[in-house]
């Protein structure tokens, strides 16, 4: 299992490196496909999509594709209109196919568009910022860096449980270590790439603060994904990534971190 997980992890890192460095259409298509797969995992867990052809799920997928296309063609001003249109279309299906769907399924379908597609799209949007080719890595640095540092600190000195019922292995000490570790990694990263940034001034403190804030939010994302799985009594969202589970199992914290990094970078660096 460890070898499988390690190999899968290396493959994921390589794919991330290639797609994010390329940016543009490559990153756009990759993120859109990842979002659609993640939505499919969530829809099946939350019963918004069954084995039959599901018009509710189709509207969700089309809504996600439409949202991404608006971003790609720099029409982000219309994304809220598009999302409202998706919700109206889902309610249209809900009432005219009644009683095929329950209200919970409709809410889950719309939730999937926002939770997976919209949130992950901020990786693409961050990449398109000034210095985005460097800033975008903070999303993964604080998410996966926090996870690794929290695990190490938790194993060494973890005593007080952070969420005993939901995730008994996570400790408050580990959480503090994860945030501190992410901040340190952000500062080190800024020191390494600082000479290549177009933004004036040193970004060491800025990157450290952004990573610390992102790390805090990443833990919420991790626990939120765990809570959904506990509610539906499953271990993993899927089996696409050997040793890791599904897309949502690997990107649970990134989903929450991406928009936070984007807005903090906009606020503090531009």
Where along the chain do its domains lie?
A: 22-128, 131-270
Using DSSP's 3-state secondary structure scheme, residue 50 falls into coil
CA pseudo-torsion sign 84, 86, 87, 92: positive
Q: Average pLDDT, stretch 169-184?
A: 89
Can you tell me the distance from the alpha carbon of 149 to that of 63, in angstroms, rounded to the nearest whole number? 37
Give the model's confidence band at 10: pLDDT under 50 very low, under 70 low, under 90 confident, else very high. confident
Task: Return the DSSP state at 195.
Answer: G
Using DSSP's 3-state secondary structure scheme, residue 244 falls into coil
Whether 52 has a pLDDT exceeding 90, the answer reads: no
Task: Return the DSSP state at 116.
Answer: I
Q: Taking a C-beta distance cutoff of 8 angstroms, is the pair 39, 61 a contact?
A: yes
pTM listed for this prediction: 0.92
Give the model's confidence band at 197: pLDDT under 50 very low, under 70 low, under 90 confident, else very high. confident
Whether 17 has a pLDDT exceeding 90, the answer reads: no
Bond before 99 cis per omega within 30 degrees: yes
Can you tell me the distance from the alpha carbon of 144 to that of 181, in angstroms, rounded to the nearest whole number? 11
As given in the structure block, the two tokens for residue 91 are: 């309610």
For residue 171, the cross-strand partners are 161
Using DSSP's 3-state secondary structure scheme, residue 158 falls into coil
Please give the sequence-ordered ranges of beta strands (E in DSSP) within the chain, or none if there are none: 161-163, 167-171
Q: Average pLDDT, stretch 29-51?
A: 92
CA angle 82, 88, 93 (to 5 degrees): 125
Give the model's confidence band at 24: pLDDT under 50 very low, under 70 low, under 90 confident, else very high. very high
**pLDDT score of 201:** 63
Q: Taking a C-beta distance cutoff of 8 angstroms, is the pair 109, 43 a contact?
A: yes
């Amino acid at each position: 299992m460890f070898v499988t997980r390690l190999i899968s992890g290396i493959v994921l890192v390589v794919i991330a490196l290639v797609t994010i460095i390329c940016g543009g259409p490559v990153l756009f298509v990759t993120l859109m496909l990842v979002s659609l797969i993640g939505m499919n995992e969530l829809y099946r867990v939350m019963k918004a999509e069954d084995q039959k052809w599901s018009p509710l799920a189709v509207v969700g997928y089309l809504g996600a594709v439409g949202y991404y296309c608006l971003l790609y063609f720099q029409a982000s001003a219309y994304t809220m209109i598009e999302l409202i249109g998706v919700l109206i279309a889902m309610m249209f299906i809900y009432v005219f196919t009644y009683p095929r769907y329950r209200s919970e399924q409709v809410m889950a379908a719309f939730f999937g568009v926002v939770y997976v597609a919209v949130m992950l799209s901020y990786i693409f949007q961050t990449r398109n910022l000034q210095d985005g080719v460097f800033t975008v890595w903070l999303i993964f640095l604080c998410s996966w860096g926090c996870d690794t540092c929290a695990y190490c600190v938790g194993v060494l000195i973890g005593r007080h449980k952070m969420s005993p019922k939901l995730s008994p292995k996570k400790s408050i000490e580990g959480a503090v270590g994860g945030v501190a570790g992410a901040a340190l990694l952000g500062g080190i990263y800024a020191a390494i790439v600082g000479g290549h940034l177009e933004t004036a001034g040193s970004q060491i403190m800025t990157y450290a603060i952004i990573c610390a804030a992102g790390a805090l939010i990443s833990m919420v994302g991790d626990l939120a994904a765990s809570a959904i799985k506990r509610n539906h009594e499953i271990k993993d969202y899927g089996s696409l990534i050997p040793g890791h589970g599904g897309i949502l199992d690997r990107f649970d914290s990134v989903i929450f971190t991406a928009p936070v990094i984007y807005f903090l970078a906009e606020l503090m660096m531009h």
